[in-house]
Chain A
């Protein structure tokens, strides 16, 4: 066998059914092995698209996403996608070709030190120097990527290694003395957490992406209902708790709901579940949850006390921790705290002023209505993303797929392609911005090529809207380089072989969406919306949560 054949066999052993990739010189042996392998390969149009598609595939399915690129520029084009997956703890294996081992370190043609470059943005990475190491390395890569706190692992394979001769040998049991993720919580930590929870009068649960990654949505709901505790979610936690549940507060933080932020400011116990106290969540960290004791539940011990003080930490898999906590707790009933929160909810609902020009929020609400909330939604980054988080009531985990930690414009379309590849029978929407969509617009061709019927809903405000909003609020309306000249998105869609539609009236939105969902191929919709609509409320950068404006 060649090294490349061993690689393909190893990928099959891991259950890989789809690879997103792009060929080049040093991955020729790998592409040759893929020629008649029974793994689906989706040829993207830019390697960044491959990384985001693998990421979307992973977030939608929970399985490890795989992308493949050649050395040098192919590998560096993956970098944004790898960093994106790293920030959001997405299980991914990125395979890159490398120049032959004897040319390493000589600035050879298309040589880039991709293991060096990705050191800070991977969970781990490898440069494979021997055919005999391929099978074990691939097994380790998948194990590391998918266990503990998941993340991307890069495997760099020089051409002589993939072309070299060897035999596939089952790597057997892995020996990784430096990698032992803690999954089961310690009993004494559970008891300490339970004591604080039992003593609390005004608890709030703050749920992050860890709930979804660990599949703990049922346990979270059971805990919230037992304690009658309101639940607020981070951007990554959306979908981990049903948005239509009476205990749900929506998102907290910079663009959180007023009632979520007020609840955090006034609670006496904050139970952080699989969340990491990101600065977009905490605002001014010194005044975050000023009256609360904090219980922090997370699988990554390094997250404990990284950003905020913590009273009780429980390290372990969120699902196991919550399951372990339940029997130690007793049921609570609604009281003054819950009533106070309900009053806030009535007083400060998330709203927007409808009327006049088509509003972005209307388009998002209609996508919810038309899909019956059952679709999978990706977003780009900016206002489009925040409005989706605010106005689309997600009720299922893995249905909202967005670039959180890195905030990568250009994520949504390739991610939607990955989601559609993982969930062929579901309706997939990319809720896009007119700026972001142009960052990976070329992937529309991939969708057409493989007949992946993704629906792209461009919230076309003619601006880099989120940046314009900051300029309006914090830079005296000086719109420096944020007004966009855009292509004709309808014609562009048609040029790619997709369906294109333009909508400017609220009355037409539903029909166009219904038609798009029924169309068997990709559709790109250009929604011409009010250009200067803002995302509110907003906590100004550096301010405390209660200092929201709007």
Chain B
């Protein structure tokens, strides 16, 4: 099963290497990893999508917690959450295809952000299903280049996973 983890870490140099190294060395499979600073500049948040059974996930979380720079981990999967990723897709498009591509973009509420003589670049934000559907719709035109950010996610409603949030703190204590 795929899990989406929200991991709060100290914004120290090397923290990404510590986390990435842990995953590769212990053979955990990362689907995607997105990282950036939070509302608190000394703290970064990693959103990690990881594939594995319950035992693997238990190990992933516990091993992550052993890293001194990791402050808090939330597995969002069991909760209601909003997950988004962004893709930029450059497709082959001569003047004849443009209209159709723009229509597809419209349907997905994606935006055309660049137009060349033979290509169109589309930006789309959404959950994995939407992004995948857009990709499939554009494939017949010939995708020249595709780049995605990896998922970022937050809990729905007033709940948060930030340090003073009321999510479950897996270090052992309830906040």
Contacts and interface: CB of A to CB of B under 8 A. Distances in A.
B68 A302 contact: no
Given A120-B25, A178-B9, A180-B172, A115 B66 contact: no
A116 interface: yes
Contacts of A127: 13-14
Nearest to A177: B71
B65 A119 contact: no
Nearest to B58: A305
A306 B59 contact: yes
B55 A302 contact: no
Nearest to A125: B14
B69 A178 contact: yes
A144 interface: yes
A182 interface: yes
A176 B9 CA distance: 11
Contacts of B13: 127
A387 B16 CA distance: 44
A178 B67 contact: yes
Interface string B28-47: 00000000000000000000
B66 A182 contact: no
Contact of B55 (A124, A300, A305): A305
B17 A302 contact: no
A120 B21 contact: yes
B68 A124 contact: yes
B148 interface: no
B152 interface: no
B171 interface: yes
Nearest to A301: B62
Interface string A429-472: 00000000000000000000000000000000000000000000
A304 B71 CA distance: 20
Given A178-B9, A305-B58, A119 B172 contact: no
A61 B102 CA distance: 73
Given A116-B17, A127-B14, A304-B62, 9 more contacts: A119-B14, A123-B68, A124-B67, A178-B69, A179-B68, A180-B171, A182-B172, A302-B66, A306-B59
Of all A-B residue pairs in the complex, the 7 with the closest CB atoms, nearest first, are A302-B62, A124-B68, A178-B71, A179-B68, A177-B71, A178-B70, A301-B62
22 contacts: A115-B14, A116-B14, A116-B17, A119-B14, A120-B22, A123-B66, A123-B68, A127-B14, A177-B163, A178-B9, A178-B67, A178-B68, A182-B172, A300-B66, A301-B62, A301-B65, A302-B59, A302-B62, A302-B65, A302-B66, A304-B62, A306-B59
